[in-house]
Structure 1
Amino acid sequence: MFRKVLVANRGEIAVRVMRACEELNVSTVAVYSDADKRGGHVRYADEAYNVGPARAADSYLDHEAVLEAARKADADAIHPGYGFLAENAEFAGKVEEAEGITWIGSSSDAMESLGEKTKARKIMSDAEVPIVPGTTDPVTDPDEVRVFGEEHGYPIAIKAEGGGGGRGMKVVEAESEVEDKLESAQREGEAYFGNDSVYLERYLEKPRHIEVQIIADEHGNVRHLGERDCSLQRRHQKVIEEGPSPALSDELRERIGDAARRGVAAADYVNAGTVEFLVEEEPGRDGVLGPDANFYFLEVNTRIQVEHCVTEEITGIDIVKRQIRVAAGEELDFAQDDVDIDGHAIEFRINAENAAKDFQPATGGTLTTYNPPGGVGVRLDDALSQGDELVTDYDSMIAKLIVWGEDREECIERSLRALKEYEIEGITTIVPFHRLMLTDERFVAGTHTTKYLDEEIDRSRFEQAQEQWGSSDSGAGDDAEVVEREFTVEVNGKRFDVNLEDRGGAFPASGSGGNKPAASAPEPAGGSSSEDVDIQGDGEVVDAEMQGTILSVDVGEGDEVAAGDVVVVLEAMKMENDIVASTGGTVAQVAVEEGQSVDMGDTLVVLE
C-alpha cells in the first residue's frame, strides 16, 4: 500500500479521495491555486502545496507544477479525481514515467484509446457492443457532414474526440447549420481538450442515459457494479442521477451490464471507469423498457465519475478505496455474482446556480449559513464550511447530496426530507429545483428522458420553486469589490507589513497614516471590463447573461441582425453559450473582443 497520495484536484472530490486514504492509513497531500488557498480540501489534507494562479491552465492543469508538488511532498502516488487531469493521457504518462510515483487510474494507453471517441467506437464494435450509427474516423469537411445527413437524416450530433458531459458536442438540426456547428464543435474541442478532431453520430431524439460502473484489476478480473440512470439533464449536463434505473427491465439491465464488461475487457482496461449508453425509448411505452429495446455505446469515462456515490450506496463497495488498492497491485476480492444491488439511491448535484434563470451560475457570495442534512440514509459529499466564500473560477458544483432508501419510493420521500433540511444562505443553489423534481409527475414515474428538462417541462415552475424555497443571496457581498491592501501595523513597538482583503471598502483607502495609496482592482484577463465602455446608440443593449470569456464575436458594426441571431458566443462554466439578439436591428457598436473576460450585465453589443 502507498505511504502518501497527492490528490490532483480540489473541492468535494479531493476530500472524498482523502477520506478513503485516511481509512487506508495513507497520508494525503493537497494542491491548490491562489483562488483555493482557503479551500476545504486544503484544510483536510495532511499537507498542501500551491501550484499557481487561479486560472486552471496555470495551476491545476500545469503538469510540471503538480509533479513538482508530488516530489516536494515525497508522495508515492497521484489520484486525479475527476475533471482537470483525470483523463489527460499525456499527464498520466508522465506520472507513469516518474520514478517512485504511481498513477491511480487507467493507464495512459487505455486512456488514449478509449478517450478518443472514434478509437473507442472501433474497440466496442469489435467486441460486439452496439454503437450508434456514425463515423469511426475524424471529420474535417462540412461536405462529410452533409453526406452523413443525406444517409442517416437529421439531426446529427457532432462530437469532439476528447469531449464529455456535453462539452464539445453540437447538434445539427438542418443542413443550413452544418458549417457553423462543425466550426463550433471543433473550437470547443480545441479550447477544452486541446484536440479539435470531431466525429459524427445519428442523434437520438429522446433517449435514456444509462451508465455502468466497472472496476478491473491488472490480474484480468473485470466486474460491473450495476447501472445508474443519468437521464435528467440540462444542456447535456447531469443534475440528478440514480441507481438502479427505473426504466430498465431485468433482462435489459443484464444485457447492458454484460456489454459493458465485454467492451472493457477488450480494451485491456485497469482501474475504475464507466461505460455510458443511450437507450432508445419504445414508442408509446408504459412502464419499463423491454429486453429487446435498442441500446448503444456512447463513451467510456476512464476515471471516477461524479455520481459514483450512487453505486457505492446500493452496493456497499467503496469504489475509491478499490481504485487505490488496484493501483497498488491488489486483486479484486469479489466475483461478479457477489455484487448485490440493495435498495435505491439518488444523487443531487448541489450547484451554485439559479434554475429560474436558465441555471445561471452564481458570480460570488459567502456562505452565511451552511447547515447540511443528516439522518438515516443521507450522505453529503462536500468541502464547505459556514463562512466560506464561493470560488467561481472552476465549475458550479459545490456539493453532492446522496440519499438511500429500501426502494425508490422511500428514497424519494427521504430525499424530500433531506432537501428540506438543507439550509444554505448567502448563495443561490438549485436545491429548490431538486425539491420541485421530487414532486414532478414524470420524474416520480421514472418516464423522463434526456430531453425532458430542455424541451418538455414547464419552466415557469422553476420560478415558482425558487420563490417558494429559494434562499436569499448575500446581498451586496456578491458584487462587492475585493481588493488586497497592504498595511503597516505596530505591535509592542515592532512594525509589521500585512496584507488584508478589503471587501466593499471596509478599510480606509490608504494604509497606516495615509502614506500608502490604495491598491487598484486588477483588470480582467481580456483587458478592461466592458462596463466602462461608452455606450453608443439608443437601441437594444445585449448584455452578458453570466460571467465568462468571449469565445467569438459573430457580428460587426453595420451588420443587420434579426431576432434570435447569435451575436456573441460566451464560454462560462465549461460550456459555450450563444448570446442572441431579442429584437432585430443594425449593430451600432461591438463592445467586446475575442478572449475578453466579462461579468454578468456587461454590455456586449448595441443595436439600433
Structure 2
Amino acid sequence: MTGGFDRVLVANRGEIAVRVMRACRELDIDTVAVYSEADRDAGHVAYADEAYRVGPARAADSYLDGDAIIDAAKRSSADAIHPGYGFLAENADFAAQVEETAGITWVGPPSDAMEQLGEKTHARRVMQAAGVPIVPGTTDPVTDPEEVAAFGDEHGYPLAIKAEGGGGGRGMKVVHDPEEIEAKLESAQREGEAYFDNDSVYVERFLEHPRHVEVQILADQDGEVRHLGERDCSLQRRHQKVIEEGPSPALSEELREQIGAAARRGVEATEYTNAGTVEFLVAEDLDRDEPLGPETDFYFLEVNTRIQVEHPVTEAITGIDIVKWQLRVAQGEAIAFEQSEVDIDGHAIEFRINAENAADDFAPATGGTLDTYDPPGGIGVRVDDALTQGDALVTDYDSMIAKLIVSGETRVETLARSKRALAEFDIDGVVTILPFHRLMVTDDRFVAGTHTTRYLDEEVDTERIQDAQNRWGTESSESDDGDESTRREFTVEVDGKRFEVELEAHDAPSLDVPDGQGTQPRPERASSETDQTANAPGGQTVTAEMQGTILEVNVEEGDEVAAGDVLCVLEAMKMENDVVADSSGTVTDVRVSADESVDMGDVLFVIE
C-alpha cells in the first residue's frame, strides 16, 4: 500500500494505545479503539474517534481474539491495524491474518519475518549466520527433561529454559540444578502456551551478572535498515524491566559501535521491515573503573518484532518519532535519513510507574482509585499515560499506570531532573513504585551505572526499599460498594459500536425512573470471601490474594499437605504465583479447577 491511511485501529489498550493514537492525530489519521468489558471507561476508549467492544475482561476472549479485532476493523472501515506492544503484537499468525484481509494493512513487520525472528530458535540461527555472537544454547526446541539435563551436563548451570514466543521474562525459568528441570520445563511450556499460544521452549546458558542492552532498529520496504542507538535495561526485577535509559552508561564508544553494527547486520540478513529491537546481553566487569571496552563479550538475546515499552527513551535522545515512522513505513514510505544522520543527543531515562508495592516483593495492587493523579512537568519531562484522576484501577491486565521519561544534556543532569520529577509526581489511592524510583535515583550503584540485571533481585537491601515505601508511599483506597452516587454518563452500544452521551453527576441522587423502568443502582453485594467463607466447612481456608486465573491445581480432596506445599498456581498480572498451605493438614474441600478465574478473597481450599 502506498497511499496514506485514513483510519487506524489500535489493537491494544492503556498508554500505548493513546501513544499510537496521538501519532495518528498528528498525521491527520482517524483512530479506532477496541476495548474489553473491563475497559469500558478506559482512557484509550475516550481518546479514540470510535470504539468497539471486542469481548469480556479476560484477555483471551477480547484483546487476544484476532477475529474480533479484525471484525471491528472491518466494521469501522479502518485501513490499518497497529498492535502496540503485548497482546497480539508479536503473533505472526495474527499478522498473517491481517495481511490476508482485503483493504487492511498490518503496521508491523511481515508475518514471515515475525515468524523467523520472533521465534527464538529461528532468530538464533539467523543471527549466527549473519555473524552476530549468540549465547550457547539449543537451536531447536526441547521437549524432554533429558534434553535439558544433557545441555546442563555439557555447558553447566545455571541454565535458562525459555518460551520461543516469550519476552520480558515471561515464559523463562532459570534452572540451578538437575532436580529443578522437570518442574521448570513444564512451567515454561505452560506460560508459553498461556501468553503466546506457543508451548515450544529452548535452552541456553544463563549469564548470572550481565547487562541488558538493546538496539532500536527501523527498516523500510526497500531494504534500508537504520539503528537508532541503544538502551540499557539492566535494572530489572524477576526479569521485568523497571527503569530503562539511553545511551548505556556502561559502554565505550567502540563497544557501542560494535553492538549497533551487529544489530543492523542481523536485521539486514532478513526481510524485516518496520520497527523492532535487537536485544543483547553484555558481560559486565564488576571491578571496572571505566566503560566496557571493545574486547567485552556480548551475545544476541532476542528480537522484539514490535514497538517497545521503552521506545520513548530513544525518541528523547534522537528526536525521531518511532511510531510515526512505523505508520509511514507501513504506507510504503522510504526512510528519509541516513545512518550517519542519526545523532544521539544527551541522555534519557524512563521510569515505569507500576501499581505495585516494591516493599512487598513488587506485589501488584489488587484495586484502588486514583484519588489524586498529578503528574510532573517542566523541561525535559514527558509522561505517557491513559488514566486520569478519579479513575479506578483495572487489575485484569498489566500493572502499569504511566511512564515517566526524563531527558537532559548529560546523565548527571538527567538524574537530577528525574529526582525532581519523581518528587513532583503525586498519586494517591493506588500503591505504586514511585518510592522505589525515588530511592533508585540516589542509589550508589545505579547512579554509578554499574548495576546488572541481578542487582535488584540479589543485592539491594530490602530494608532500604521498605524505608522508601514508608517515607513516600501511599496505600490503595478501598472502593465503597455502598456509594449512593449515580453516574449520568450513558454508554450506548449498537451492534457492538460505542456511542457516548455525556451526562454525569457524582454523589448525586439516583435518577427517578417511573413505573420501575430503566436501571436503578445495583444493591450492595457481599464480597466473594464473605459469601464463600460463610458456607465453608470447618478448618483453615486458603483464599486468593489477588484476582487472576488458576493455571493448575496440585491437590485433591483427602490429600495430606505440609506447610509450604504448593496447592495451586495462580496467574495474575502476567506472573505465576504459587498458592501454598500455611500449615499442615488434610485437604477437605477444593473449590477451584484449572482455567477458572477467581477474585481476591475467593476461597480456594479448605484444610483441616
TM-score, L = length of structure 1: 0.90
Deviations 1:256-295 (A, max 9, x none): 1111001111122100000011112225333422221111
Deviations 1:363-399 (A, max 9, x none): 2222221111100000001112222222222111121
Q: What code does the residue aligned with 1:55 have?
A: R
Q: 2:171 is matched with which residue?
A: 168
Distance 1:450 1:561 in 2: 36
Distance 1:82 1:455 in 2: 29
Q: What code does the residue aligned with 2:81 have?
A: I
Q: What code does the residue aligned with 2:331 have?
A: A
Q: 1:360 is matched with which residue?
A: 363
Structure 2 unmatched ranges of 5 or more: 489-500
TM-superposed deviation, 1:73: 1.8
Distance 1:481 1:569 in 2: 35
Q: Secondary structure at the match of 1:274?
A: strand
Q: Is the 2:213–2:280 Cα contact (8 Å) retained in structure 1?
A: yes
Q: Secondary structure at the match of 1:268?
A: coil
Deviations 1:16-40 (A, max 9, x none): 1111111111121112222222221
Distance 2:228 2:482 in 1: 47
Q: Secondary structure at the match of 2:302?
A: strand
Q: 1:491 is matched with which residue?
A: none
Q: Secondary structure at the match of 1:427?
A: coil
Q: 1:460 is matched with which residue?
A: 463
Distance 1:21 1:581 in 2: 51
Q: 2:596 is matched with which residue?
A: 596
Say which of 25, 29, 40 aligns to 1:26: 29
Distance 1:87 1:464 in 2: 39
Q: What code does the residue aligned with 2:5 have?
A: F
Q: 1:280 is matched with which residue?
A: 283
Alignment pair present for 1:255 and 2:258: yes
Q: Which moved more, 1:357-366 or 1:414-423?
A: 357-366
Q: Is the 1:529–1:597 Cα contact (8 Å) retained in structure 2?
A: no
Distance 2:143 2:327 in 1: 40
Q: Secondary structure at the match of 2:203?
A: strand
Q: 1:194 is matched with which residue?
A: 197
Distance 1:49 1:591 in 2: 35
Q: 1:229 is matched with which residue?
A: 232
Alignment pair present for 1:91 and 2:94: yes
TM-superposed deviation, 1:137: 0.5
Deviations 1:411-451 (A, max 9, x none): 11111111111111221111111111111111111111111
Distance 1:229 1:395 in 2: 22
CA distance change for structure 1 residues 502 and 582 in 2, over 3 Å: closer, same or farther? farther
Q: What code does the residue aligned with 1:573 have?
A: M
CA distance change for structure 1 residues 440 and 537 in 2, over 3 Å: closer, same or farther? farther
Deviations 1:143-165 (A, max 9, x none): 11111111111111111111111
Q: What code does the residue aligned with 1:578 have?
A: D
Distance 2:464 2:602 in 1: 28
Distance 1:530 1:481 in 2: 20
Q: Secondary structure at the match of 1:168?
A: strand
Percent identical: 69
Q: Is the 1:76–1:102 Cα contact (8 Å) retained in structure 2?
A: yes
Q: Which moved more, 1:10-19 or 1:306-315?
A: 10-19
Distance 1:481 1:546 in 2: 23
Q: Is the 2:170–2:575 Cα contact (8 Å) retained in structure 1?
A: yes
Alignment pair present for 1:66 and 2:62: no
Distance 1:4 1:261 in 2: 32
CA distance change for structure 1 residues 480 and 460 in 2, over 3 Å: closer, same or farther? farther
Q: What code does the residue aligned with 1:333 have?
A: A
Q: Is the 2:8–2:79 Cα contact (8 Å) retained in structure 1?
A: yes
Say which of 33, 48, 51 aligns to 2:51: 48
CA distance change for structure 1 residues 44 and 249 in 2, over 3 Å: closer, same or farther? same
Q: What code does the residue aligned with 1:418 have?
A: A
Q: 1:493 is matched with which residue?
A: none
TM-superposed deviation, 1:519: 5.7
Q: What code does the residue aligned with 1:390 have?
A: L
TM-superposed deviation, 1:595: 2.4
Within 5 Å, give how 1:87-126 maps onto structure 2. 87-126=90-129
Q: Is the 1:360–1:546 Cα contact (8 Å) retained in structure 2?
A: no
Distance 2:274 2:534 in 1: 52
Q: Is the 2:9–2:81 Cα contact (8 Å) retained in structure 1?
A: yes
Distance 2:271 2:463 in 1: 48
Distance 2:533 2:484 in 1: 18
Q: Secondary structure at the match of 1:84?
A: coil
Q: 1:550 is matched with which residue?
A: 550
CA distance change for structure 1 residues 16 and 409 in 2, over 3 Å: closer, same or farther? same
Q: Is the 1:530–1:592 Cα contact (8 Å) retained in structure 2?
A: no
Q: Is the 2:510–2:521 Cα contact (8 Å) retained in structure 1?
A: no
Q: How many residue pairs get matched?
A: 591
Q: Is the 1:138–1:198 Cα contact (8 Å) retained in structure 2?
A: yes
Q: 1:571 is matched with which residue?
A: 571
Q: Is the 1:354–1:429 Cα contact (8 Å) retained in structure 2?
A: yes
Q: Which moved more, 1:5-14 or 1:575-584?
A: 575-584
CA distance change for structure 1 residues 134 and 579 in 2, over 3 Å: closer, same or farther? same
Within 5 Å, give how 1:239-254 maps onto structure 2. 239-254=242-257
Q: Is the 2:486–2:510 Cα contact (8 Å) retained in structure 1?
A: no
Distance 2:514 2:224 in 1: 67
Q: Secondary structure at the match of 1:208?
A: strand
Q: 2:494 is matched with which residue?
A: none
TM-superposed deviation, 1:514: 7.9
TM-superposed deviation, 1:125: 0.6
Distance 1:175 1:482 in 2: 59
Alignment pair present for 1:320 and 2:323: yes
Q: 2:292 is matched with which residue?
A: 289
CA distance change for structure 1 residues 532 and 315 in 2, over 3 Å: closer, same or farther? same
Distance 1:426 1:353 in 2: 12
CA distance change for structure 1 residues 382 and 182 in 2, over 3 Å: closer, same or farther? same
Q: Is the 1:548–1:598 Cα contact (8 Å) retained in structure 2?
A: yes
Q: Secondary structure at the match of 1:200?
A: strand
